[in-house]
A and B are shown apart, each in its own frame.
Chain A
Amino acid sequence: MIEISDVSREYRRGADRVRALQGVSLAVPAGRFVALMGPSGSGKSTLLNLLAGLDRPSRGRVRVAGADLGELDDDALASFRARHVGFVFQFFNLIPVLDALHNVELPLLLQSMPRSERLERARTALRVVGLEGRHSHRPSELSGGEQQRVAIARAIVSDPSLLVADEPTGDLDAHNARQTLALLRELSASLRKTIVMVTHDPRAEEYVDEVHVLDKGVLRAPSAAGAGIVAP
């Protein structure tokens, strides 16, 4: 599903050249739930952006779902993300003027699909995350945990093969954090979604299949931990 070969990413910050990633290689088979961990500034989000098609490597190759992302232009990358990637963010990032149903519908606007089908699929996604009674609620009317579940519904509604989650529990209390991790675990197990999650949350290790640790832009050996509560 994901093949990252000897990838480096450098960028400029003022006069300085920052080496965010150095010679990273990683392979994630389809259906795996993987955590990227490490201290702040270690390159976790940079790696996540590369494999989600939000950024391009300075060197090396990133292949996801059979596509070499380094060879795609901006429009093709946008199209790739729309078809293959679902996003979950730390701060949920829902559109405040839309209710839960229409927030979830958003990614489907990019597909040729009748409105009735879009709304039906959005309802289904909300049911999967346990929010079937909250369709007409706006983000401000939902708790943090519920907002994150709406965001997860938005991420899966277009049935992408890859979900990327950037600190999905970072803005949640312990209870909601566990519920979110369990939901992601469930999606990986039941829907065979490949999930790559950047997190600082040590509880995540109980739910994921494997943990990769980044330090100063270099990928350390994968931890055997994980394996998860639910066996892969």
Chain B
Amino acid sequence: MKYLPLVLRNLGRNPTRTLLTVAAVALAIALIALLRTLPDGMQRMLNEFASNTRIGVFSEAGMSYPLPYAHLRKVAALEGVEAVASWTWVGGTHDPDRGVRFPSFAIEAEGLAGVWPDWAIRPEARADFARHRNGAIVGVATMTREGWQVGDLVTLVSTALPLSLELQIVGTIDQPGMPLLFVRREYLDQALQAQGSSLDWAGTLWIRARDPLVVPALQREIEALFRHSEASAVAQTEKGYLGRVFGFLEDFLTLILVVTALVAVCVVFIASNTASLAIRERGGELAVLRAIGFPRRTLLGLLVAETTLLAAVAGVLGVGVALGLTGVLRASSFATRFPPLGAFTVDGEIVLASLGLALGLGVVTGLAPAVQAIRRAPAQMLRELD
């Protein structure tokens, strides 16, 4: 502790350089802490939304390819299946100039009730959805964002199909951050028939199994059932299904993580170079301290303590920034528009890891220039002083 004032004085000898170094390291730590929330956030989100009894079935060719609607009847007949439903992408907006503003699907009224009994939809809303052919059930995030109320009449202009649907909002899905809008499949089918077409396909089939234990067997059975059909299918648990949806995002995140890691390495180099410059400027002082009896290890400790203290302050600031940003995101309207944001939190593990990283960075950036500065004999250091 007796050396602390000396360390602090040295850090204060060039306040601008110290502040800029702290800012650079703090930014790197904040970035890393924020990005480290992503994998856990994804997992947390999947755990929150996904049930262990629901299975999603989609075309083996890819999630954007349709399946024959007849597949639904076949899977409904399988042993262990409690309820089935289909999702058919409508896309949609109520303002064509602004593009798709929320995900909307056509679904069977009984399917919504049977496959997602756990969703926070009031019983009267479920009943109204079944009763009104043009009824719509809308997630609270979209309701809030669009300023809608239950009972409102809205026109949904499909971006996937050449039609518009006049809808009446009959209820909400009160899951925090839920953006989905559901219309009745029957209503969409009738609209298509009016145009001389029909809805004999579906995007994704959903199954609720009677018991989580039968889910793996059901998955195998469903895939085997359609293996030799004209539209073979893949069956995944809801977690796996959502994971696949987010898989695309995950690849992107991996890329971001790699880039961030490279940025962090660059910051280490910059901080190390700054530390090196700062130590080199003080060659004369170090020579004098060595001469008056400061052992190498004490000087090494003093120099590394400076960079470590600086990095620790930057680490605390960086973690603070990450905590603040995630807090602000959770509280902001972003989280209702893009629910995944709400799942990303800087937890204790990330705080500790980030602070540990900052401390490690401080030691690494200080060690090399410090060792270089003190390894020479004091007489040689003093000669260079002259």
| Min CB–CB distance A119 → chain B (angstroms) | 11
Q: Tell me whether A96 is interfacial, beta carbon within 8 Å.
A: yes
Within 8 A of B (CB), among A72-128: 74-75, 78-83, 85-87, 89-91, 93, 95-98, 102, 106-107, 109-110, 115
- Please state if B291 and A97 are interface contacts (CB–CB under 8 Å): no
Whether B292 lies near A82 (C-beta < 8 A) is yes
What total of A-B pairs shows CB separation below 8 Å?
75
Among B9-17, B47-55, B314-322, the stretch that binds chain A is: B9-17
CB distance A82 to B293 under 8 Å?
A: yes
B196 to chain A, nearest CB (A): 86
Q: State which of B99-107, B155-163, B199-207, B378-386 sits at the interface with chain A.
A: B378-386
The yes or no answer to A49 lying at the interface (CB within 8 A) is yes
Residues of B within 8 A of A61 (CB): none
Please tell me if the beta carbons of A106 and B379 are within 8 angstroms of each other in the complex. Answer: no
Q: For B10, what are the chain A residues with a Cβ–Cβ distance below 8 Å? A: 97
Does B295 interact with chain A (Cβ within 8 Å)? Answer: yes
Q: How far is the CA of A231 from the CA of B291 in the complex (A)?
A: 31
Give the distance in Å from the alpha carbon of A102 to the alpha carbon of B2 in the complex: 12
Interface size on B, residues (CB 8 A): 28
Contact residues of B: prevailing secondary structure: helix
Interface size class of A (residues with CB under 8 A): 20 to 34
Within 8 A of B (CB), among A190-206: none
| A residues near B377, Cβ cutoff 8 Å | 54-55
Q: Are A78 and B6 in contact (CB under 8 A)?
A: no
- Does B12 lie within 8 Å of A97, measured CB to CB? yes
Contact with A along B364-386 (1 / 0, CB 8 A): 00000000000001110011011
Tell me, yes or no, whether A154 is within 8 Å of chain B by CB. yes
B383 cross-chain contacts in A, Cβ below 8 A? 45
The CA of A93 and the CA of B295, in the complex, are separated in Å by 18
| B289 contacts chain A at the CB level, 8 A cutoff | yes
Q: Which residues of B are interface residues toward A (Cβ below 8 A)? A: 2-3, 5-6, 9-10, 12-13, 284-285, 287-296, 298, 377-379, 382-383, 385-386
